[in-house]
A and B are shown apart, each in its own frame.
Chain A
């Protein structure tokens, strides 16, 4: 996925109040050899960015703290307006992550440690893939009913392992390690379950539709994930 080319660059609207971070994002995007992402608009507030050219962006990248004020409530607002939101923040407590994901964010990126995944995450979100970063894994572990394998895979991802390392640790009943693809499936199914149990919004519907389309889950499973349904 990370290296899959896209026909058109993903246009992002960047809401970020720190100039040096904006410059950093521009540098990471410029460093992507496939040129998969382009910045459509950048500014210090949601109104400034989305009131202008940012309105037609594929993905909104939102800093959670703007000028000292937590913008958690803006996640739900942007999601309800049909935007795919990627939260980019230093506030990586699993409870915060779970909260913004529940509000409808498509992904969460730790500003301190997950900058290398910025482009991959944005591209995945633009295509409604169930992409999970390590910081997101912490939030997902908080509140979704998962199978043992899904929980184990998410736990290792949260701890900081890559998918190959996770595959080495997760073993089949015959003692053989599972494949990296299987690990990816566990994690993506966990993400799909979270979307199914979350707030109904366009980004969650699109992600679930994509999961069904890719054969990751069956449509009837979605209802099974919903809270209160055994």
Chain B
């Protein structure tokens, strides 16, 4: 992995994407899109784990390299930083349903790094961040539409 000075590091995010038992349909589309994001310099993939939770709640973790046919992910796998520790596995798997499989993805937002560095150099510090779920936007718009309709 390429070393990045800490003061130039962009925001690092993670997601846990669950695939319920029998509901996964891997066509390679996700891998291709992830590779495109990395190749374009939008993100840098820092770590990936694949988690499985048995019906009894037992969790097992696998490395990306354990997948037989990596395809588009081959180049990404070679650059992983292995940020996650073994003790992170149970915390990450807490959100999973029994019988499911999940992919854990950690990435650096390269697109935001120059701005984040500028903020730090200017004395700013991050005190809150988050994501607005698309469902929350939908709910807000729908509520507004109902209000508007009622006012007609």
Partners in one complex: no
**Residues of A participating in the B interface, judged by any CB pair closer than 8 Å:** none
**Residues of B participating in the A interface, judged by any CB pair closer than 8 Å:** none
